Amino acid sequence: MTITIEVCVDNIESLLTAQQAGADRIELCSALPLGGLTANAGFVQKALDLATVPLYAIIRPRAGDFIYSEQEIDIMVSDIKFMTLLGIQGVVIGALTPEGDIDKAALKRLMTASRDIGVTFHRAFDLCNDPQTALEILIDAGCERVLTSGQQATAEQGCDLITALVAQAGDRISIMPGAGVNPENAKKIIKLTRVSELHLSGKTTRKSTMKPNATVQMGTEAEADSLIAITCKKTISDLVNLVNG
């Protein structure tokens, strides 16, 4: 069985790296350290120009929780429509109620806006109080996959729930493990859960070539201006070769 490898990126350098390393699908976002926010139009358009694999764009208007106001849902719907016009292959969404359930009303609006493209429900799923019921809601809504760590800190730790979700889902929806997936644990996760997709960022950093005024600091962390967060080509290629080599 061939395993689909999805890589999330928040810059164009990482998009090109992930493709060259063998990624089968790319998730576009901004602000990966915040869990990923909606990418800007210029980034999405350039990514589409350069893409050789399908692109999915996360639709998340702000950091923090996944309880959204009507105005925020309006923003998400507009972003989905705009991404569709640009030619994106799919979007990554999520919305919850204060009680930790899927926000069915919000989901309906987002799915209606996404009717012509693919939809992944992101790791907001991992905050649901009843994952089995949540999964049925997402299946009924027409989502094609769920990104989940099995409601644990990492997908490896969440293999028990992921395995149960795969059995529950059957061929109705894909369960895609994400969070802490790497070449060291990928085969174990696949063997235990029988999934057909994996999600990772493969993050690393490189030093900036800029020689700035040393007395000025733009970020809140001392090294923020001199280190660029990027996708590690070796991490992605090693994982691809390991699971599909």
Residue 213 pLDDT level (bands cut at 50, 70, 90): low
Rounded (10°) angle between helices 186-193 and 233-244: 40
DSSP secondary-structure letter at 77?
H
Pairing outcome for strands 203-207 and 227-231: antiparallel
Q: Number of structural domains, the chain?
A: 1
Other CB atoms within 10 Å distance of the CB of residue 133: 12
pLDDT (tens digit per residue) in 105-160: 999 999 999 999 999 999 999 999 999 999 999 999 999 999 999 999 999 999 99
Partner residues linked to 228 by β-bridges: 206
What CATH number is associated with residue 174?
Answer: 3.20.20.380
pLDDT score of 3 more than 90: yes
Give residue 150's domain range.
Answer: 4-244
Q: What is the pLDDT of residues 50-107, one digit of tens each?
A: 999 999 999 999 999 999 999 999 999 999 999 999 999 999 999 999 999 999 999 9
Distance (Å, whole) CA 105 – CA 224: 40
Q: What is the mean pLDDT of the chain?
A: 95
Instruction: Give residue 20's identity as a one-letter amino acid code.
Output: Q
At residue 212 the predicted structure's pLDDT band, cuts being 50, 70 and 90, is low
Q: Burial, 8: exposed, middle or buried (Cβ in 10 Å; 0-12, 13-18, 19+)? A: buried
Helix axis angle, 159-169 relative to 186-193, nearest 10°? 40
pLDDT at 216: 61
Angle formed by the axes of helices 131-141 and 159-169, nearest 10°: 40
Residue 221 has a CB neighbour count (10 Å cut-off) of: 8
CA distance 126 to 30: 21
